[in-house]
Amino acid sequence: GQPSFLGVFEDNLTEYSNLLDIRPGDVMAAGYNDETPIEILGVDLCKALPVTDYVVRTFFPRLLDNALVIQQDYIHQYHPHIHLSMMLLDDCFELDCELRWGGSLSFRLKKPITEEMIAERFGDDLGWYDQADRNTKMLRQLVDRMYFDENRWVLLQVLGIYLANMGRYDQAHGVYLEARERFPYYEIPAEVERLIGTEAAHA
């Protein structure tokens, strides 16, 4: 089976164990049945599109008014589904805090998110991720919103990787070249080079 870090997690948080309700395992399989509304939602599990979709549908309708949502992998190249899920609900959130080389970004809920709203904007499957023209425009808008150059640079790579995911390799490589031209003082990671860099363009 898969290795588990549960023991390490529990050891590190022994001092606070009386405050924690630890639920190990696959969140999508375990489900979430708590009736208590959510005031602070820290999201650090959206490494795959189905999980991001699950988080939106399961947790976002339970957010309290003015709730805080912390997206841990937002300033990170490899998970465009996180950014797109937040952009599809852009009118419901306002940016709370952006850090240089942030990793995490926090958002404040300004309008309730209903199950009906999610169904209207996301549909009933994962097809919302494949609407390439619309999603490309949203990711481009997001690049320009960032305050720090470091974060704009990362989000350009997010856009490039999304385009590659959609099979638009020429456009993806164009975004890669744009990132290098606009931000020549940052070194693009080897994995991004492999996905949308010169090697990918000639594959």
Q: What are the residue boundaries of the structural domains of the chain, listed by start?
A: 24-130, 132-203
Does the pLDDT at position 1 exceed 80?
no
For residue 154, is it left (φ>0), alpha (ψ between -120 and 50) or beta?
alpha
Q: Are 71 and 107 in contact (CB under 8 A)?
A: yes
**Structure tokens, 196:** 């949308």
pLDDT tens for residues 32-83? 888 899 999 999 999 999 999 999 999 999 999 999 999 999 999 999 999 9
- Output the average pLDDT for the chain: 94
Q: Which pLDDT score is estimated for 43?
A: 96
pLDDT mean over 20-35: 89
pLDDT mean over 157-172: 97
Q: pTM, whole model, 2 decimals?
A: 0.93
Confidence of residue 146 (pLDDT cuts 50, 70, 90): very high
Between CA 11 and CA 125 the distance in angstroms is 38
Q: Which pLDDT score is estimated for 5?
A: 87
Between CA 24 and CA 31 the distance in angstroms is 11
